[in-house]
Chain A
Amino acid sequence: MIKFEEVTKKYGNQEVVKNINMHVREGEFMVLIGPSGCGKTTTLKMINRLVEPTSGRILIRDQDIMDMNPVKLRREIGYVIQQIGLFPNMTIEQNVDLVPRLLKWDKERRAKRVRELLELVDMDPDLYAHRYPNELSGGQQQRIGVLRALAAEPSVILMDEPFGALDPITRENLQDELKNLQNKLHKTIVFVTHDMDEALKLADRIAIMKDGQIVQLDTPEMILRKPANEFVLEFIGKHRVAGGGPATVESVMKSNPVIIGPERGVEEALALMKHKGVNTLLVVEQDKRLVGVVTVEKLDKNRRRASTVKELVETDIPVVAAGSPAREAFNTLTANKLDYLPVVDEKKRLLGLVTKTSIVNALASFVWKEETA
């Protein structure tokens, strides 16, 4: 439906979008996510030609958008801008039926459409149609911003952080509404956010961006299971909630277990254990690669014979791979009567530690999410 072919955008010498290839399929909900300034808005605006690529091509239904009339193109694409941008000089009705007016729909059809849309989001048309934007709450304004984009029944809709400045509860309600709408309408949607929860909840696929490039483009599940690199891992780690999709071990692990280097002394290890109140230390190399564990009993027994941790480390221990379901870790823990289970990435680097306590904590923070958020 929408195809980016090697698209680059430069402002002066700064490349803000670098060689992007992306194919948004018909009826797909594609979410662009990434830190502020990574080029999400720029990428989005290139689709309706508010920004024109420096090089590369963008095709909609196999037609190069540079060959299309920009005004006509934009009327066929719904657009929700980052700052809502309702026209303060127009009523809600006039805001919502703006594109139909530009397209010269007749009056009855427009009025009918406005009612239909307002009812879609449970706003009574008789009450709201003739109000002005400054007479609505922030949440209602953002709803109108979305309705305005839907009004002329475009098959492609671009949304730039449409629920940006909202309190968490209103935000979730609107996300639910949007999801319901999408289940009914099957639009092709490109949606920008920097909130991973939002992305996981809404997306069919997520494109994670960094410095103008797409770092990973995949389904929410695959991104959680197989993060392409550290950046993605950090990005999802930070935003993860055991909610959308199956929870992964990262969401239930404790991310800073007590560690020690293999060359460290036995006395030092014992002191560290005492200080931290633990009976096991994870032994990791400088590059964070997991070597194994040492226990307090073993250290104590061999105090005189060994000098470094390396000599007493147990290397044959069960571990769990990053991205595996939390449930699997839980089963391994209980079945083998383990106290802990290290989480490692594909290069055997230590990411964290799953214990029964860490699982309970994660569950607790999930159950009481509203209170702790």
Chain B
Amino acid sequence: MNPLLELLTRSWADILMATWQHVYLSLGSVALGALVAVPLGIWLSSRQNIARVVLSIAGTIQTIPSLAFFGFTLPVLGIGVLPAMVVLFLYSLLPILRNTYTGIREVPGELIEAGRGMGMNDRQLLFMVKLPMALPVIMAGIRISSVYIISWATIAALIGAGGLGDLIWGGMNVYDIWLILAGTIPAALLALLASFILGRLEKAVTPRGLRST
């Protein structure tokens, strides 16, 4: 019998479970990341000097090898879902933060001036002009972040967060290529799916007047 089929019949429930854990682990982190990075990006967009500092800190976090990062948090946060989410959350920040910041900074100056000149206050300017104009760019940041995080979440299994990484590391321990594939393929499919769905969403939030016809 085909070893893949055999594996599937034997442990489809495990794979499904791992996929589900993987989904909430990664999407949860990205959602939290967006919740923090979007408002922070907006706040920074009118504070260039602080923005430079914050963006470079976020950039530095991004360069810490993920394995090492999990190692650092181990003594502080222990193992499990929580520390994994904290690390993934920190990783998800940069793309969203950077896109929010530049998306808003790149709203054409004449639109800001038109809005101000017609009597919008800061809040109205943000919600009526800046955010709608920057939304496609912000969404792109969230999409990029999601794809990264889905792939990095496989490493989270090392600190006991579960997910598809469990299958991969398990497979590596027992030299079972099929088990490794059972973790890798769903992870890759998840990343593609997320990218596809968020890509559609990105188009949907692009104001009709901004779409190239």
Q: Which A residues contact B (CB, under 8 angstroms)?
A: 45, 48, 50, 71-76, 79, 81-91, 98-99, 102, 132-135, 148
Contacts and interface: CB of A to CB of B under 8 A. Distances in A.
A89 B120 contact: no
B213 interface: yes
Contact of B129 (A83, A87, A102): A87
B113 A89 contact: no
A18 to B, nearest CB: 24
Interface in B169-193: none
Interface stretch (B41-49, B65-73, B76-84, B204-212): B204-212
Interface in B97-144: 110-111, 113-121, 124, 128-129, 132-133
A83 B108 CA distance: 11
B24 to A, nearest CB: 33
Contacts of B113: 50, 81, 85
Contact of A79 (B117, B121, B209): B117
A148 B117 CA distance: 12
A86 B108 CA distance: 11
A88 B207 contact: yes
A85 B119 contact: no
B119 A89 contact: no
A144 to B, nearest CB: 12
Contact of A102 (B111, B120, B133): B120
Minimum-distance CB pairs A-B, first 6:
A132-B209, A75-B119, A85-B114, A89-B207, A74-B119, A88-B209
Contacts of B129: 87, 89
Contact of B118 (A84, A102, A134, A135): A102
Given A132-B208, A134-B209, A87 B117 contact: no
Nearest to A75: B119
Contacts of B124: 102
A362 B121 CA distance: 53
A91 to B, nearest CB: 8
Contacts of B120: 71, 102
B110 A72 contact: no
Contacts of B213: 134-135
A317 B120 CA distance: 65
Contact of B110 (A81, A90, A148): A81
B114 A87 contact: yes
Contact of B210 (A50, A83, A89, A98): A89
15 contacts: A50-B117, A71-B119, A73-B119, A74-B118, A81-B110, A81-B113, A85-B111, A88-B133, A88-B207, A88-B209, A89-B132, A90-B209, A98-B118, A133-B209, A134-B210
A76 B119 CA distance: 8
